[in-house]
Amino acid sequence: MKTIIKILCLLCLPSLLLAANKPDLFLLKTYDDKKSVVGWMMSEKFDGIRGFWNGKQLLTRGGQQIIAPDWFVENYPPFAIDGELWTKRADFEEISSIVRRKNPDERWHKITHQIFEVPNQDGGLLDRLKVLRNYLKNQANTPIKIIKQYPIAHQNQVKKFLRDIVHKDGEGVVVRNPATAYQTGRLSSALKVKKYLDTECVIEKILPGKGKYVGKMGSLLCKTKGGAMVKIGSGFTDVQRKNPPAIGTSVTFKYYGLTKKGKFKYPVFLRIRTQRDLCINRYDWQNPIFAQLVISLNLVLAGLRLGLKNLQVGEKWVS
């Protein structure tokens, strides 16, 4: 029995160590364009690996140590900084391959540390970033870069900025209230703005849930029209998890681009496709014959409405 307990303790030790090292970070909520963000700051959202420097070592969001080369961190500050380890847009898989290696290689020369926060400093966002900016004045060779923040003068600026970023293969935009003091957790003062794509697929298999979803649906395994398989595990309500759509049902999901292997990035359930949607899509709206039929039908209906109107007017004159 003692041996079993020792084995269990050894198995649990890595998880306990990770939990102890896990940094308390701020997280982003999703932007709603109904919320005014005039007077806030916006910046590009970099699609990299979260890198938190605690003043001594580099950690992932989950608390795992990132084994970076000594030269990479030799001019890092004695205080905490938070950002994304990044190379270029649309390069997440390469970034992940570099950063997660236990034995760092020469590819680290491609990595920059794009900083969006300086935790535990006084003042608003720009004041905190200024602390790092002042430190970097005396550091010639460093991979640390401070992400540029742009003031939002009007609401439409966010949409235009997002279009520009997405057009350049960027991931999205972050908007933040610059007056807010440093906080951790998921914040209403820090929002992510992403432009997603959506498509349809047919449910092939319902996979059981784990943890808090035991006894409920965990995810759906679906097939797209092109034959690609996709596993959708988020975006469902509790009611939908208790009573999932049946196998063979057509659903719509959103995603944020494709990986280099052609897989959907971050698929999220949107809705069940109704019979009305399916009926509409059976018709070829670009077919000239079908288009002419629709036009003719509309003309007939317009004529009937006009005839009824004239009839009503005539009745008034008669009476």
Contact 269, 253 (CB under 8 A): yes
The helix/strand/coil state of 145 is strand
Q: What is the β-pairing status of strands 185-194 and 26-30?
A: parallel
Q: How far apart are CA 114 and CA 190, in angstroms?
A: 17
Question: CA dist 42 to 130, 166, 191, Å?
Answer: 16, 15, 9
- The question of whether 309 is a catalytic residue gets the answer no
Q: How far apart are CA 22 and CA 25, in angstroms?
A: 9
The active-site residue, picked from 34, 45, 216, 225, is: 45
Q: What is the β-pairing status of strands 112-117 and 144-146?
A: parallel
Q: Which class for 202: exposed (0-12), middle (13-18), buried (19 or more C-beta within 10 A)?
A: middle
User: Any long-range contacts for 91-95 (C-beta under 8 Å, 24+ apart)?
Assistant: 92/47, 92/48, 92/259, 93/259, 93/260, 95/48, 95/49
Helices marked H in 137-265: 156-167, 238-242
Q: How far apart are CA 313 and CA 18, in angstroms?
A: 81
Q: How far apart are CA 243 and CA 235, in angstroms?
A: 14
Helices marked H in 100-237: 125-136, 156-167
Q: How far apart are CA 206 and CA 246, in angstroms?
A: 8
Strand order in the sheet with 26-30: 26-30, 185-194, 172-176, 41-45, 150-151
Active site residues per annotation:
45
